[in-house]
Amino acid sequence: MDCIFCQIVAGKVPSEIVHQDEEIIAFRDINPQAPTHLLIIPKRHIPSLIQLAEAELPVLGRMVNVANQLARGESIAESGYRLVVNCGEEGGQVVPHLHLHLLGGRRLSDAMG
Ligand code: AMP
């Protein structure tokens, strides 16, 4: 239980939760890189994208669906937004709990890395 996102799921670390259902929660990133910067995570501890088993793939689709709903709620669905998954050290992953970054609210960089 030393995973910071598991602690957010358990309510042991405060966060600004913007969505919660049986399987998924979403909250505002503590260090936002854009006017809208939300994190969408499975409640279950899945360490990274590469550790997502085939049987667990549906949760990723549901995370994308939540991200799309949140983009509408943040009024960035029309202007556009970006979903990012960092995987592993060179992919820039710092927190070892699968998460989608939802970024938008300004023109995002054309650079992809
Ligand atoms: P990544 O580099 O893809 O692993 O992204 C981890 C993200 O988690 C970063 O954007 C951090 O700012 C964010 N983060 C870390 N701790 C917290 C926290 N307690 N509440 C909200 N966001 C956090």
- Report the C-alpha gap between 71 and 76 in whole angstroms: 5
Residue 64: pLDDT above 90?
yes
CA distances from 60 to 18, 22, 65, 91 (A): 18, 14, 9, 18
Q: Which two tokens stand for residue 23?
A: 């399987």
- For the question of residue 97 being annotated catalytic, the response is no
Closest approach atom of ligand 1 to CA 33: 10
Give the pLDDT band of residue 92 (cuts 50, 70, 90).
very high
Reported as a single tens digit per residue, the pLDDT across 9-63 is 999 999 999 999 999 999 999 999 999 999 999 999 999 999 999 999 999 999 9
Mutate-to-test residue for ligand 1 from 13, 25, 31, 49, highest number of ligand atoms within 8 A of CB: 31
Q: Which two tokens stand for residue 28?
A: 């505002």
